[in-house]
Structures are given as structure tokens and as C-alpha cells.
Structure 1
Amino acid sequence: MSPKSIAVVIVAAGKGERAGADGHADPKQYRSISGVPVLTRTIRALLDYPLIGRVVPVIHESHQQRFAALGLQDERLMAPVLGGANRQASVLEGLKALAPHRPDLVLIQDAARPFVAPVLIERVIAALALNDGSLPTLPITDTIKRSLDGDRVATTEDRRQLFAAQTPQGFRFGQIFSAHMRAESIHRQFTDDAEIAEWAGLRVAMVEGERTNIKITHPEDFSRAERIIMADTVTETRIGTGYDVHPFAPGDAVWLCGVRIPHKASLQGHSDADVALHALTDAILGAIGEGDIGTHFPPSDEQWKGAASTLFLRHAGALVAQRGGRIVNLDVTIVAEAPRIAAHVPAMCAVIAETLGISADRVAVKATTNEKLGFVGREEGIVSMASASIELPRVG
């Protein structure tokens, strides 16, 4: 079977609202796991399988800039198409985009399953030699109760006959495309593509699923995903520290941890002079042995004049991800007589977490004064100290 005969539809058009219940601004498919966005991991997993000839992402209309920012490049990756009002409609849009290329087989994959393994893809494809469709499943291990009112138990199901479906689900392209086109004309919402295939009279086989092929649905799933990534990796913990100081200059606000705080002065510096993010960036760089902020962003370089320090922090986080590491926790201390910091701490933690693609509970920001002593006590400037704990794969 030639590589061009197998195509993939990756369904990424949802808003991911349940996974955003922790206040994270990005939809779940664009949030990061160990520094890499979920959607990037999913697309790469499919492209890494050598028999895949085309991959078409289906995205939400409002996510076009987010998708472009992923920077994905592969000759087999088609331009994204815009999804419909629900998952079923979005899959159909992806199938329509593939129709001119006439693939023999198509795999339909949820964007929120970033850990699909080559062995699982192989099982799904192999089952299509004798069946119209195939999907990975796992047996239900919990006892399943049915309730008619959500309050009282009506009956207990026979779990031996129940299985949890995963993706990718594979089909012969012409058959599933025809089934989706027919399903569009009736007033019924199907939960997945295998259900459409069943409704259309196609023969769908089950193959063994994978426990690690989880679907990111709720906020806690991101922590579970981090554990999956690190499970097979022998790691070591690195600790880095950072220190920075900036004097006050004429102005009306200071930037601290990415938050603009009104003040009677600003901080002097080549960039936005965010003393806290500079210290934190140095702490991360120090933990992975990558020098300091001045090495990567020299103050003599005019392109960084007035730059937002979140750029520096994001760069440090990307270096951690490139090394296959993850950020365990970050701790920032700001020493200043003024302005008052406490009210801004939640926003500061949120900015740091958002910039690095980690959960806010891994970030601590604290503030204290210098008890009127020294240049900080005289309100001549602000000092910040930071520490970073990083896990990296052990080498040698």
C-alpha cells in the first residue's frame, strides 16, 4: 500500500471549554504539555508514521492565528480547513478536503489525543484489510450503572459487553465519506465516526487500544499527560537561581512578571525592564546550563529595545522543551518598597504560566520590602530573585 493511499483527518475545531475550567485562556489543543502544544504533538505523531500520505487539520474559525503560530512544516501536512458547528460536521469538512486526492483509507483522529502510538496506528490500519472500519477500544473495568433520572440506579450493565472507544478510527475512504454525506441530511447527532459507519451498515472491527492514548478533556488531564511523558524517561532534577536589579526612571508604571502596574516611576532598562521576569529567565537558563539572559538577548542589540520580557521567558521555556525537560516549579521574590504587589500576584502567576505553558499552581510570586534599608529602602529601584526546578532526561 503506497503512502499516498492513507490520509488523516485531525479534528481540532472544538473550543476545549471543559479543559479550560482552570482559567487557562487557550483551548486545550493549543495548550502545552512539557512545552509542546497538544495539537503539535498529535500532528507529529501521525506524520511520524511512514505510511501516512496526507494529514488535514480541521480547526475552529477563530483559531487560525493560533494554528499558524504552531509553525508546523511538512509536505504531507495540508492547509487547515475550517470546522462546522459540531464534531460530525467538522469531520465532514475534512473528508471533503481529502476527496480530490482520493485516498484509499482515512484515519480520523481527535486532536486531544496526543499520545497515539505507532503500534496503535498499525493495528487500526491492519484491521481494514478485512473490515470497512476499525477503532481501538479498551474494556470497561468499572461497574456501570444505568439511571433513568440521574438519582436512583435502574439497572447494572454487563461490563463484559462494554468497551471505551478511542481514536484514530480507520475506514475505507469512499465508504465513510458516503456515510457522512448521508448522515448530514438526517436530524441526528452521532457521537463518533464508528457510530456513523454502524448506522450506514458498514462492518466495524475493534482492535486493542492503549491506556496511554488518553483524551485531554479536563484540567487534571494535563498533569496526567505530563506523567505519561516522563514515565519512560530517567530524569534528574536541576535547580537554577536568578537575580536582577533595575533602578527607577521617570515614568508612570512598572512591568513586573508581565503585568503593568501604575506607579510614580518606571524601571530603567533596555527592554521593558521587567526585573522579575529577567531574574526568572536567568533561573531557568541556569538550571539547564544555558548561560544567562544577556547571552541570548544582548542589551547592545537594538531589536530588544523596549521588548516585552515575556519573549525572553518564552525562549527559556522553549529551550527546556527542546532538551526534553519539564518545569517542575518556579519561585519569584520581588523586593520593593513600592508599588504594592500583593493584589497583582494572581495575574503575575497567570502570565508566567501562560507564557511557559504550565499550570499556575507551579508558579509562586512573593513580595517583600527591604525595611527602608539600602537603595531599595530609599525607593531607588527594585530587586528580584528567582529559583527554577527543572526535570531533564539524564544523559550518561
Structure 2
Amino acid sequence: MQNNSAILLAAGGGSRMRGSVKDKTLAPLLGKPVLYHSAEAFIESGVVSEIIFVCRDDEQIAQIKTHLAPILKKIAHTFTYGGAERQDSVLNGLLKTSEKSENVFIHDSARPLVGSDNIKKLSEALKSDSCAVLAAKVVDTIKKLDKNPNELRNRELIDLERPLLWAMQTPQAFKRSIILDCYQKVNSSGAKITDDVAAAVKSGYKITIVENIYPNPKITVPEDLAMVEFLKSKGKI
């Protein structure tokens, strides 16, 4: 077992689930909570020695301890609380990682199809590079508004070169010392970011893309649960 850490983010409110489930990370997916599948992938990969669960509150922590009991006994783990924004939650998780950890894998636990093979590929990338991200080629034609994102009528649309576009996914993986420093700088500067790669880029680091050819959607709306369950049941991961 390598001295690496996985941070599983589970503190999000899930407002776009429209009340269909109380907690999307604990919603049942083929008989197991969504979060179980994400944690299981990291354990099966064999590349992490600890998992840090970033949680919403004590009630959620208690639920995770109960529902994930069969696999929690297989790996060192700890719990911490989320913050106001995703970037605050990530920093809280980073501060809980072991100082012995060389690398950190940051994952949105609402992506239960990540698969252990993808985690292994990210680990391989970190043997030579400092920052790596799981990503997929963009297949849709993407247009950009020239200004004012809230006005949609009679707009000028800017073409983007599709071959240059990649959709960022998670896990996003980094040397621990690097990403901790990057997030501390982001936190102190007051900058707003939406993923971990952005924190590294702000400090001047370049990113290695690990292409994912399999579905790895993030459960966001109620319909996503049925789609992900179908994909996983058919082995489409």
C-alpha cells in the first residue's frame, strides 16, 4: 500500500435533487450507497493508504460509519467537515491528510463510476508529473456568449475549437505538498475556483490529462441516479 490519501467530498447540499433523496451520497445504488462505490474504487485500486471523508454534519458522519462499515475496516480513515464552498471543503480535507502522504486524490463522491483502473492511471501519471486530472474529450459543439450570461435572446455566439476542449472530471490528483500550498494561497487570496486543477494553475503548475473513455457522470438531478444505476449494472465503467 502506497502512502497516498484520497479525499472524498460528501458535504454538498444536493439542492438540485429536488428533495427526491435526503442525501445523494447515501442514496441507494445497486443496494449500496453512492458513496460506498466511490470509496470501494479507491480501496480496490491499492494506491491509497487513507481516506478522508469531508462531511456535512455529525448525522451524516454517523450514517457513513453505519452504511460503509464493511469497507471502512479495510483502510485507515478519518472525517472532517465541509465549508461554505467546495474549495473550503477541499482545504479542510487536505489539512486532515497524513504528513507522510506523497500524493492526494480529490474526488467528488457523487461520481460513483470512477473505477479503480482510472485511479491507477492517475497514480502512474504522478510518478513523473505533479498534477493530473481525469477528463473526457468534449463531443458537443460548445459556444461562448460574448458577455452577460443571463440574457439569452438575440445573442452573439463565439465559436470554440472543439478539439482543444476537455471536460474536467474527478479524481484530480496532486503531490500533497503542492496542492496543499496551492489551496492555502487560494484561501488567503479570496479567489473563487470550482475545481482543484484551477488552484494548481493559479500557482503556475501545468496539468497532465488522463483520458477517461468511460462514463463518469456526477449525480446532480434525480434522473441521474437511474442512469448511473443502469450504466453500472451493465458494466459500462
Partner of 1:129: 127
Query: Is the counterpart of residue 181 in structure 1 residue 187 in structure 2?
Result: no
1:207 partner amino acid: V
Larger Rg: 1
CA distance in 2 between partners of 1:63 and 1:157 (Å): 42
Q: 1:146: Cα distance to partner?
A: 1.2
CA distance in 1 between partners of 2:124 and 2:232 (Å): 27
Partner of 2:91: 92
Q: 1:75: Cα distance to partner?
A: 4.7
Native 8 Å contact 1:145 1:153 kept in 2: no
2:231 to 215, 228, 231: 228
1:35 to 25, 28, 31: 31
CA distance in 1 between partners of 2:11 and 2:140 (Å): 31
CA distance in 2 between partners of 1:201 and 1:217 (Å): 31
Q: 1:171: Cα distance to partner?
A: 0.4
Partner of 2:65: 68
Query: Is the counterpart of residue 58 in structure 1 residue 54 in structure 2?
Result: yes
Native 8 Å contact 2:133 2:172 kept in 1: yes
CA distance in 1 between partners of 2:14 and 2:29 (Å): 15
Native 8 Å contact 1:4 1:54 kept in 2: no
The alignment's TM-score, normalised by the length of structure 1, stands at: 0.55
Q: 1:48: Cα distance to partner?
A: 1.3
Q: Percent identity?
A: 28
1:209 to 208, 212, 226: 212
Partner of 2:166: 163
Q: 1:34: Cα distance to partner?
A: 1.8
Q: 1:67: Cα distance to partner?
A: 2.1
Runs of at least 5 residues in structure 1 that lack an aligned partner in the other structure: 234-396
Runs of at least 5 residues in structure 2 that lack an aligned partner in the other structure: none
Query: Can you list the C-alpha shifts for 1:329-358, whole angstroms capped at 9, x where unaligned?
Result: xxxxxxxxxxxxxxxxxxxxxxxxxxxxxx
CA RMSD in angstroms comes to: 1.7
Native 8 Å contact 2:30 2:233 kept in 1: no
Native 8 Å contact 1:120 1:210 kept in 2: no
Relative contact order higher in (CA < 8 Å, ≥ 6 apart): 2
CA distance in 2 between partners of 1:27 and 1:202 (Å): 35
Runs ≥4 residues deviating over 3 A: none
CA distance in 2 between partners of 1:137 and 1:173 (Å): 20
Secondary structure in structure 2 of the residue aligned to 1:188: coil
Q: 1:179: Cα distance to partner?
A: 0.8
Native 8 Å contact 1:84 1:93 kept in 2: yes
The alignment's TM-score, normalised by the length of structure 2, stands at: 0.90
2:65 partner amino acid: A
Change in Cα spacing, 1:232 to 1:185, as seen in structure 2 (3 Å) is closer
Partner of 2:194: 191
Change in Cα spacing, 1:25 to 1:223, as seen in structure 2 (3 Å) is closer
Describe how 1:186-335 pairs up with structure 2 within 5 A: 186-232=189-235
CA distance in 2 between partners of 1:78 and 1:101 (Å): 14
Partner of 2:9: 11
Aligned residues: 228
Native 8 Å contact 2:47 2:120 kept in 1: no
2:116 partner amino acid: P
Native 8 Å contact 1:17 1:27 kept in 2: no
CA distance in 1 between partners of 2:179 and 2:8 (Å): 15
Q: 1:160: Cα distance to partner?
A: 1.3
Native 8 Å contact 2:138 2:166 kept in 1: yes
CA distance in 1 between partners of 2:177 and 2:4 (Å): 12
